[in-house]
């Protein structure tokens, strides 16, 4: 009987100690987690992506094509990036293995889109609003262009009294030019 009482007492004391330990060391989930950047690493511990602010004050989620040789904040190391420029306007960039921009989607300061597709010689196809020499909210000329200066089509808006009107246009250059290599 005495042995049963000691066993029962030990069992109750163990349960009480475990319960008290749980109450004292209970971890509540964090409501806010703050950091200046987060890094994604591969199994070898090499940085392959990041989320944070880069040296140009862009807030960016970027991925390197392979472990970044210097750091993934270097835009030439980024294969894909999405984020905000320092002025708050959004961007999306896809780059070649060499780090050269191939596709870029931006919103200008008036929230109008511009999509550019590049090769190693620069912009080949552009689609979006075409800004005037003095960009403003009234820029409503929409263009699809193929470069080097081969074809442009789109619509141009013009004020006429209290209204704005649009008309389409097509400009084609039939002259043969050597393809840049």
Domain ranges of the chain: 36-90, 108-181
Q: Which residues contact 3 (CB under 8 A, 6 or more apart)?
A: none
Question: What is the value of pTM for the model shown?
Answer: 0.71
Please give the residue that has the higher pLDDT: either 28 or 116.
116
Mean pLDDT of all residues in 110-116: 91
Nearest to 106 by CA among 127, 92, 94: 92
Mean pLDDT of all residues in 101-125: 91
With bands split at pLDDT 50, 70 and 90, how would you rate the model's confidence at 117? very high
pLDDT of residue 119: 92
Average pLDDT over residues 84-105: 92
pLDDT given at position 106: 93
Check residue 140 and give its pLDDT: 81
**CB 97, CB 78: distance < 8 Å:** no
């Amino acid at each position: 009987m005495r042995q049963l009482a000691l066993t029962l007492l030990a069992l109750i004391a163990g349960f009480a100690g475990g319960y008290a330990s749980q109450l004292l060391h209970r971890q509540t989930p964090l409501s806010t987690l703050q950091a200046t950047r987060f890094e994604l690493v591969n199994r070898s511990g090499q940085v392959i992506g990041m989320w944070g602010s880069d040296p140009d004050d862009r807030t960016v989620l970027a991925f390197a094509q392979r472990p970044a040789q210097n750091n993934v904040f270097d835009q030439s190391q980024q294969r894909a990036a999405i984020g905000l420029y320092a002025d708050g306007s959004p961007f999306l960039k896809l780059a070649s293995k060499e780090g050269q921009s191939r596709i870029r989607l931006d919103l200008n300061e008036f929230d109008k889109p511009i999509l550019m597709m590049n090769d190693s010689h620069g912009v080949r196809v552009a689609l979006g609003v075409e800004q005037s020499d003095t960009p403003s909210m009234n820029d409503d000329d929409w263009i699809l262009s193929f470069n080097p200066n081969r074809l442009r089509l789109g619509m141009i808006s013009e004020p006429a009294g209290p209204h704005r009107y649009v008309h389409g246009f097509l400009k084609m250059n039939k002259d043969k030019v050597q393809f840049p290599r």
